[in-house]
Amino acid sequence: MKVFNNGKAPDRKLNIYLIVGAVMTGLVLIWAVVGIFWTPYSTTQMSASLRFHAPTWSHPFGTDNFGRDIFSRVMKAVGTSAIISILVVAISAVLGILLGAITGYFGGIVDAVVMRVVDAVNGFPSILLALVIISLLGKGRQNVVLALGMAFTPSFVRIVRGEFIRLRDADYIVRARLMGVNKPRILFVHILPNIFSTFWVSVMIGFNNAILAESGLSYLGIGVQAPDATLGSMLSDAQGYLAKSPWFALAPGLTIVWTVLGAAMLSEGIGKLKK
């Protein structure tokens, strides 16, 4: 077994992750955006004669237990999941930047208190935390966004805080301070742009976790409510008919895998690009 590689960096080649990730993510996004405006069939129209059809040319993913076209429903569901996940990441990233910047730069008592809370919350699996928040707020689309947004904030706070601690005593920041630059400007004009390379990777990871958490919640029946299609609720419906029509579960399931895999590869590609 040869394990020693003399500390040499591997050969620099084409950034496959970036290309494959971008193509996969791009395809899903196009599909989702089209799905918001147009689907080949109605997503809610039921038909008794069309129940449990196997995939055919006119219904590429088959039809479900109510005779609805699965292709159209998945298309719509991807859009819903993507919009929810983007909002979740936006909320948690903005809150994370604000709290992380303040705690990381100033430290002190505020930092101690916020970090205790972040530690306590971080220990909780995020889907559990979202569940508890939803039990307080009630079900529904807005509350899913709020709950997941709150549940995801601590991990962003942690990352942003770490970066601000790393940069707060850098020479150019010390000089800016001596020149009398005001604090908000130091925080958001001098430091913030320098953490984006690290930050983008966590945004992509956050997006993935949001997709998984959202479909998890709707699988459990506490996310977006019927008759709106979501990937999670479609899987939950399909589970009962697994022996009879496995493709019913396959289409929404593989769509989630495709989306998450694409975003994961894209974030790895971006990470490699920075090096």
Partner 1 sequence: MKYFIQKIATLIITLLLVSILAFLAFQIIPGDVVNSILGTEATPEMEEALRAELGLDKPPVQRYLAWGKDVLRGDFGVSYRYSKNMNEMMPVKELIGDKLPVTLWLALLSVGITVIVAIPLGVLWAGTKNKFLDGFLNVLTQTSMAIPAFFLGILVTYLFGIALKMFAPGAYVSYKTDFGGFIHYLIFPAIAIAIPKIGMTARFLRNSTLTELKSDYVRTAKSKGVSDTGILFKHVLRNAMLPVVTFLGMIIAEVVAGSIVVEQVFSLPGIGRLLISSISTRDFPVVEILILYITFVVIVVYFVVDVLYRILDPRIRQK
193 lines the binding site for partner 1 (CB under 8 A): no
The rounded distance, in Å, linking the Cα atoms of 160 and 92 is 12
Q: What amino acid occupies position 139?
A: K
- Binding segment (CB under 8 A) for partner 1, from list 76-84, 98-106, 142-150, 251-259: 251-259
Q: Does 124 bind partner 1 (CB under 8 A)?
A: yes
- Cβ-based neighbours of 37, under 8 Å, separated by 6 or more: none
Smallest distance from partner 1 to CB 165, Å: 19
Instruction: Check residue 19 for interaction with partner 1 (CB under 8 A).
Output: no
Among 78, 89, 134, 204, binds partner 1 (CB under 8 A): 134
Distances from the Cα of 42 to the Cα of 39, 68, 78, 227, angstroms: 7, 8, 15, 12
The helix/strand/coil state of 69 is: strand
Instruction: State which residue, 92 or 208, has the beta carbon closest to partner 1.
Output: 208
CB of 218 to partner 1, least distance (A): 10
Q: How many CA atoms lie within 13 A of 95 on its CB side?
A: 17
Q: Are 157 and 149 in contact (CB under 8 A)?
A: no
* Cβ at position 220, least distance to partner 1 in Å: 6
Q: DSSP assignment of 154-173, as one string?
A: HHHHHHHHHHHHHHTTSHHH
Tokens representing residue 171 in the block: 């020479």
Q: How far is the CB of 169 from partner 1 (least distance, A)?
A: 22
Task: Check residue 35 for interaction with partner 1 (CB under 8 A).
Answer: no
Residue 128 binds partner 1 (CB under 8 A): yes
**Residues at the contact surface with partner 1, assessed by CB under 8 A:** 1-5, 7, 116, 119-120, 123-125, 127-128, 131-132, 134-136, 208, 212, 215-216, 219-222, 232, 235-236, 238-239, 242-243, 246, 249, 253, 256-257, 260-261, 264-265
